[in-house]
Amino acid sequence: MPSAFSGLSMRARLLVTLGLSLVMVAASALLGLWQTQRLADTAESLYADRLIPLSLLRDMARDLGPQGLGQLLSPATSTGAPLTERDTQRLGSHLRRQWQDYLSTRFVATETAMAERVQLQLETLLKGVDTVDQASAEQLRALNQQRLALMKLIDDLATLQLSQARLDTERSHEATGDAARLGVLLVMVTAGLCGAMIWTIWYRYDEERRASHDARERLQRMYQALSQTNQLIVRREADLDLGPSAEQVLFDGLCRICVETGHARVATVVLVEGASFVRTAAFGNVARWMPGMPPRWSLDTTFSQSSMSTRAILAGTHQVSNRALQDPTISKPGSPVIPPGIEAMAAFPLRRGGEVVGALSLLAGEPDFFDDTVIGLFNEMAGDLSFALDNLSRERERAQALSTAREASDELRCLIQAMPVHMVLTRLPDGLVLEINDAMCQRYGITRDEVIGRRLMDLGVGMLPPYRGRYYELLRDHKDVVGLPARAATRDGRVLASRVHARRLRYHGQDCVIGCSVDLDDPKDTGPALDAVINGAARHERGDERGNERGDERGNERANERGGGRRAQSPGESPHADSQS
């Protein structure tokens, strides 16, 4: 259909139609004016070229008749008084003037020959009239015969004028009829063109309205597909399903969304398994729309050469064929027959860990279905699914790392509890107690429940302030504190003299201190116990950091310092004790 009005608003189209209608009406008016002018010209020509010459001929016939020259040349037939010489001269002059006036009118070809004859006979007659006084009776009769012959010619001219006037009138009627028919035709053409323009505008408007409605529905389906894809991914993450079926739930859901939102008749997910390609998920009537498609194929098969999924996986980019029935790369000999109703095909790669692991394959029932907008939609959906697969891998690695860290944390807690010396794990720099063994609790007269998450000084126990200050100075400059003499208060008011051993380390991503104190009268050696607990904390920290690194997409830098071996310690003193032990 005409597309001249495409892109114009309805108001602009109506204005164009109105302008063209006015142009056609103006043309019709100009035609009517021209027709009227022609009628006026015809009437004027009829008057000037036919009626005036006829009147002049009649006047000449009257002057040549019995009331004019007939009285002079045929007195026997005259009924009036005889003409005088002056009357004769006046009649001759009048006849010459009338004839000159007649000669100034428009002639036709026949009229010209007759006028020449009249001209000759009139001159001859008027010359004879000038000498009529000296003419004999015989000459008078000859002049009278010339007068009668001249009157006959003038009557013939008058008859010719009447016939020519009738012919001109008929021609004028024909011209008027032609002009009227032309005017009617122009009006009809104007009405037809205006109707055609109005119909075209309405057709284009209705077509654009339907196209706009289809575009809105298509856009709504696209948003619906994106929304359902995101909901599918969010529900999977909310369910905390990390089992082996989590990927299958995503694949099945994506295929279902593609078909239910009207973007495909059939949707499948194909994954790479070694040297083979496996159809892992599908939604739609596969038996009808994909007859002959094997559930598994290898790269060297005929089907692999025509498979859009295989090409997308190998190329790493989307593959599109909007005219699948005419595509020679798909309709190869030996390939499955494409059934009627499948017009377009496309495949979009799926990635995991940056590597292509499969493809989303779509079969549509409309030719040229996969335009730039639809391709962008499915690229985004495939990207969302790839992100969900990566996130699933990260969550599994994180869960494994957290499980390892939890086991290490339980091991560390049991190790601290099993130590026979007084031992506590605190956080720097605020001194909150993270773990404490029963030996330390009994020493200070407190319970484990009341001290976890609090500072020892808040309970009125631990090192006295002067010793605590020195203790923190050493920890600020050294990693280890070894054998620091200190005095500590208990809940019942006793002051104990002891030596403090401590080391700074990372625990659950925090700067911490694990330390122990031995009373001066206690012969136990704290070295082996402290080393055992520190090594356990180091193993816990390594597992904890691995979990954090896998959970972060960008990756976290591992701690440079681990609670492994000992460093250089402070001269004659040691590093790592609780600020309140």
In this prediction, residue 174 carries a pLDDT of: 80
Give the closest residue to 252 by CA, choosing from 355, 360, 386: 360
Cα 389 to chain centroid distance, Å, stands at 31
Q: Mean pLDDT per 10-residue run, the chain (581 residues)?
A: 55 74 78 76 76 84 78 61 72 85 83 85 81 75 84 87 83 77 78 78 77 74 83 76 80 91 90 92 88 87 87 93 86 78 92 93 90 90 90 85 77 81 88 90 91 91 89 88 90 90 86 86 57 58 51 39 37 38 40
Could you give the C-alpha distances from 572 to 142, 308, 470, 484, 504, in angstroms and in order? 181, 75, 13, 8, 18
Cα distances (Å, whole numbers) of residue 461 to 458, 496, 521:
8, 11, 20
* DSSP-derived 3-state class of residue 361: strand
Give DSSP secondary structure letters for 34-81. Answer: HHHHHHHHHHHHHIIIIIHHHHHHHHHHHHHSTTTHHHHH-TTT--SP
The pTM for the full model equals 0.51
- Cα 458 from Cα 464, distance rounded (Å): 13
Rounded to the nearest 5°, which phi and psi values hold at 19? -65, -45
User: 499 and 486 in contact (C-beta within 8 Å)?
Assistant: yes
What's residue 170's pLDDT? 82
Domains present along the chain, CATH in parentheses:
10-205 (1.20.1330), 241-394 (3.30.450.40), 419-551 (3.30.450.20)
SS3 362: strand
Contact 567, 480 (CB under 8 A): yes
Q: What's the sign of the alpha-carbon dihedral 534, 540, 545, 548?
A: negative
Q: CA 116, 119, 125, 126: dihedral to nearest 10 degrees?
A: -170
